[in-house]
Amino acid sequence: MFIIQDTLVSLDVLEKEFSCDLAACCGKCCVEGDAGAPVSDDELEEIRKVLPVVEPLMARKARKVLSEQGLSYLDPSGEQVLSIVDGAECIFMQRDSHRWCYCLLEQAHEQGKTSWRKPISCALYPIRLTKVGERVGVEYHRWDICYPARLLGKKKNIPLYQFLKEPLIKRFGQEWYDELELTATEWKKQCKQRLSP
């Protein structure tokens, strides 16, 4: 772990390579799992603002869950997460004609219909934020469905923290990211020195 400002950053965030391969996974992270995406009260308020745009596009089952349960619920650990359909897929997940999964919230934003994109937990995945004492833990969540992303990241030589540069800056700020990048550079130098004869 590395301390970056008020966070504890896992070594995996600096060392692991990652690059989403949607052609291989078809967006399964919006479908598989046992709970919805973590979401804050502020994010729920943003979602409520864009609901008039996205709700008409939601699947019938998803609209039913929305009306009966609401936007979110508490998972077994007590974390507030987005509601899901049939114990799996996000209520804002939609499939296209090729059966690829995509996010209605993100699509509305990309089409210029809304100013807000999606929850930061979705944008940061496969990084998960946890509570470690008084600090925020920045950790890599390894999931089998992301195996193609690990292969593609290795092929392209893209470290996880670089792949997620934009959402990391959005969540923690440019100064935090610059410190993370400097830490990664120094760590790689030290590793090379240890390996050199």
Q: Is the pLDDT of residue 196 over 70?
A: no
Pair 109, 163 in one domain: no
- Predicted confidence at residue 12, as pLDDT, reads 94
Q: What confidence tens digit (pLDDT) does each residue in 145-193 have?
A: 788 889 999 999 999 999 999 999 999 999 999 999 999 998 888 877 6
Pair 92, 36 in one domain: yes
Per the CB < 8 A criterion, the answer to whether 131 and 137 are in contact is yes
- Predicted confidence at residue 102, as pLDDT, reads 84
Pair 149, 177 in one domain: yes
Give the residue among 125, 138, 150 at the shortest CA–CA distance from 180. Answer: 138
Final residue belonging to a domain, choices 124, 150, 184: 124
What's the whole-model pTM score? 0.85
User: Helical H runs in the chain?
Assistant: 11-15, 22-25, 41-54, 60-69, 104-110, 120-124, 147-156, 160-163, 165-172, 174-195
Pair 171, 181 in one domain: yes
- Of 22-36, 71-85, 91-105, 123-137, where does mean pLDDT reach its minimum? 22-36
Pair 52, 120 in one domain: yes
Q: Residue 74: in which H helix or E strand, if any?
A: strand 72-74
Q: What confidence tens digit (pLDDT) does each residue in 37-95 have?
A: 899 999 999 999 999 999 999 989 999 999 999 999 998 888 899 999 988 889 998 88
Final residue belonging to a domain, choices 75, 109, 124: 124
Domain interval for residue 189: 1-18+126-197
Pair 32, 118 in one domain: yes
Pair 93, 106 in one domain: yes
CA distances from 137 to 8, 9, 77 (A): 5, 6, 16
Q: How many angstroms separate the most distant Cα atoms in the chain?
A: 65
